[in-house]
Amino acid sequence: MSSKSKAFVSGLLEQADIVIDGSRAWDIRVNDDRVYDRVLTHGALGFGEAYMDGWWDAEAIDQLVYRILKFDLAAAVKIDLPTIWSLVRSRLVNLQRMRAFEVGERHYDLGNELYSAMLDPRMIYSCGYWKDATTLAEAQEAKLDLICRKAGLEPGMRVLDIGSGWGGLLKFAAERYGITGVGVTVSREQADYANAHRDGLPIETRLQDYLSLTGKFDRIVSVGMFEHVGARNYRAYMEKVRALLAPEGLFVLHTIGGSLSRSHGDPWAEKYIFPNGMLPSPAQLGRAIEGLFVMEDWHNFGAYYDPTLMTWLQNFEAAWPALAAAYPGKYDERFRRMWRYYLTSFAGAFRTRMIQLWQVVLSPSGVAGGYQSIR
């Protein structure tokens, strides 16, 4: 370890009122002094990996990350090699198309037992709508109903869900609004679960890439999938949605987004959580829909992702002893630290409002008389 590295990192953290080996929830306890050099050479990737390896701890990582981001401490560190490589790779290779099923295999196929323990009863893995909710289940049902109302669902409509997860949205829409539906996912575990739990409703989930879809749908929804499309493919995605949507239809897009246009994701999240993931900006989304859709509504409730993630964390921690005992070779201590870091660091990022959660309603030619925004 370089003493200069330790002094530099310690001084940097003090700007955000973070103290090495301090006593507050957001202070860092250093377990291995090699962490200082690792952070300076490998940036965000090194910071996250050092936590996974037990080199540092913090009682409340969400509060720690919130302070690091709020005070923009990364700006004081030169661009690290993992970030440079992520940027170069995104420019040279269209990974989102070359490896379309990778995120399904590496993240969503981790095990339905993990997600069942962490999520609500409907298995909804996206931001809840906490406006009038007090529990995770209430927040997720409120979000599902919000999407259905924004889409203007009516009995008999044929609905497409791009990135349909474990089938919760289509099942909810079939139960409450009488629709028929098709969902597509790149996760075999999700598809198997969704089809096994459709309870005789006129819905189906396919293990299929969205670009291979054909036909027409009265309504299209997509929840938490656009983050996997990639900046190079935003326009092609919107063109495909436009081709699949009926002339008088509506498309409801639910996606995480960021304030800055980027062509790569966070190196740590790309490596361990969401391979090839990246967040769109308002400018990128605007360019993607230009000439294809009328933007009817744009709703930002990103602040609600903070309580969603923290509730998932509580559920995960409560379920951990049983998961570790039942699957000792699958869910080890390094996985636990990785998952904890994922949930808490994302919560801290949403708390800063640097990243957002958007629901955007699009129509092919504009709703006659105007669209009535629904909250």
> Could you report the per-residue pLDDT of 122-175, keeping only the tens digit for each?
999 999 999 999 999 999 999 999 999 999 999 999 999 999 999 999 999 999
What is the enclosing helix (H) or strand (E) of 91?
helix 81-92
Decide if pLDDT at 101 tops 90: no
How much is the mean pLDDT over the chain?
92
φ and ψ of 97, to 5 deg: -95, -40
What is the enclosing helix (H) or strand (E) of 295?
strand 294-300
DSSP for 136-187 reads HHHHHHHHHHHHHHHHT--TT-EEEEET-TTSHHHHHHHHHH--EEEEEES-
> Nearest to residue 255, comparing CAs of 221, 217, 210, 208?
221
- Give the Cα-Cα-Cα angle 228, 193, 345 (nearest 5 degrees): 40
Identify the pLDDT of residue 75: 76
The pLDDT of 81-105, averaged and rounded, is 57
- Burial level of 248, CB count in 10 A (0-12/13-18/19+)? exposed
> Could you report the per-residue pLDDT of 339-374, keeping only the tens digit for each?
999 999 999 999 999 999 999 999 999 999 999 999
Rounded distance between C-alpha atoms, residue 334 and residue 311, angstroms: 21
Q: What pTM value is reported for the model?
A: 0.92
